[in-house]
Structure 1
Amino acid sequence: MKKILWLALGVALGFVVAHQVNQTAEGRRFFSDLDKRTKGFTESIVDGYRERESELRAVLGDAGEALSSTSK
């Protein structure tokens, strides 16, 4: 229980500090840059996932066709 209290306190303190930093022009610039980088990273992950998913679906489709043609 004590660890959860420390975790909650740390999260709350982090939000307070982030809010204070965001009040300055440099802080807003920092968070804006961080947001852009995070979105870019997330988009890269999603693109890679979709590309790999389409590759796997193509392979599974080819395997399914091969199995159905050999069973006839």
Structure 2
Amino acid sequence: MKNALWFIVGVAVGAVAAHQYSRTEQGAHFFDEVDSRAREFGSAVIDGYKQREAELRAAVAEAEDTIADLSNKLK
């Protein structure tokens, strides 16, 4: 419990320090850059997810077509 309390205190102190730093010109530039990179990373993750989803959907569609063809041959 003591460790959790210190963790919470550390997070709070860090948040206050970051807020104060973000008010400076250098801090604002730093956090703008961090925000930009985080958004780029998020966009890359989303693009990768959508690409993989499309690949999997195509594979499922191909498998469904193959199953339908085999089913028709057995009839």
TM-score in terms of structure 1 length: 0.93
Partner SS for 1:71: helix
Indicate whether 1:45 and 2:49 are aligned: no
Q: Which has the larger radius of gyration?
A: 2
> CA separation in 1, counterparts of 2:53 and 2:30?
34
> CA separation in 1, counterparts of 2:3 and 2:53?
40
The corresponding residue for 1:24 is 24
RMSD of aligned C-alpha atoms? 0.8
Partner SS for 1:29: helix
Letter aligned with residue 22 of structure 1: S
Cα drift, residue 65 of structure 1:
1.1
> CA separation in 1, counterparts of 2:14 and 2:27?
14
TM-score in terms of structure 2 length: 0.90
Identity of aligned residues (%): 42
Q: Which runs of 4+ in 1 moved over 3 A?
A: none
Residue segments in structure 2 that go unaligned for 5+ positions in a row: none
The corresponding residue for 1:7 is 7
